[in-house]
Amino acid sequence: MSFDMNLGLGMSSLGGGEDNNYDVVIIGGGPGGASAAIYTARADLRTLVIDKGLTAGALGITGKISNYPGVPGPVTGAELVEIMRQQAESFGAKFITDKVVGVDISGERKMVMAGTGAFYAKVLILATGSMGRTSVVKGEEEFLGRGVSYCATCDGAFFREQTVAVIGNNDEALEEALFLTKFAAKVHLVVPTPELKAREVLAAEAKSHPKIEMQLGTRLKEIVGNGQVAGVRVHPRDGEEQTLPVTGAFVYLQGGKPITDYLMEQLETQPNGCLLVDKEMQTSVPGVFAIGDLLCTHVKQAVIAASDGVIAAVAADKFINGRKAIQNDWK
């Protein structure tokens, strides 16, 4: 597939000179992209990372992380990403802040179009993650990192013997609610629809758990508090609005769609929009790899995305240099 991607940029931006030619271009500088950059740069591959900014991704807006291996917490998501970025830069990786608007992956040399111009690479590693919802609940942004969370696995331990709410109606919401029962004294599961839409085995486990109180057919109206979350205001379908006293609100409303618009349907996907990859993270196009939330990984953790990034980087080195295997790096 080939198409016109000039997009109003000057022809000097499209020339493919030495300054914009790389072995590897990584789109997305979160934990997956930064980890990939550490490995590709250390393998002496000329590496460029194009990222929208430290706080653009899911990790970047996380207020407190205490479970990333080797990094004594708590640290913010932005701080953790910055540590990874500095490590990658120490090996020669280059980071720029820009937005990718399109790619052409039809030939051996891949082209990436960004606001500042065109970049070319032998290999692309896609690490753009998934997008949040276009609308948020009142109080959600205000209390993000102060009781509002999108990751029970990350933050559940901070809510020992407390009452929390989980809002959502999918597998992830129920899995996280069940996980929170390890720490919380009580979990309100606020479900917007009258029936659960998660897998039957998860629904059955959640319904029977003594710590989980179901709030079916109930809409979240507002997250309230004073500096910290103190409650969630909800409206049952067949009742009056009420405020549930909680200290944590874990929001899993729909909106985790992989960010793939810039790919213009050049890669094979699953029905849910997630990219298809092989065991080395390579997509349906040779030399194009995808990692992290683009794969709709079952466990959404920074360390999983970082692992994906390492696998893709090792495979990228093999792809570029024609190796059948990579040399071990733990001597």
Q: Could you tell me which of 217, 87, 61 has the C-alpha nearest to residue 146?
A: 61
Residue 154 annotated among the catalytic residues of the structure = yes
Q: What is the identity of the amino acid at 253?
A: L
Angle subtended at Cα 270 by Cα 316 and Cα 39, rounded to the nearest 5 degrees: 20
CB 257 within 8 A of CB 273: yes
Among 230, 253, 233, which residue's Cα sits nearest to residue 243? 233
List 51, 104, 151, 317, catalytic entry = 151
Q: Is residue 296 flagged as an active site residue?
A: no
Pairing of strands 229-236, 110-114: unpaired
Q: Which of 23, 51, 104, 154 is catalytic?
A: 154
Q: 99: helix, coil or strand?
A: coil
Alpha-carbon span 58 to 60, nearest angstrom: 6
Choose the catalytic residue: 23, 51, 155, 317.
155
Asked if residue 253 lies in contact with residue 246, where contact means CB atoms within 8 angstroms, the answer is no
User: Is 151 among the catalytic positions?
Assistant: yes
Q: Which helix (H) or strand (E) holds 80?
A: helix 77-90
Sign of CA dihedral 319, 320, 325, 327: negative
CA distance 274 to 267: 10
Catalytic residues: 151, 154-155
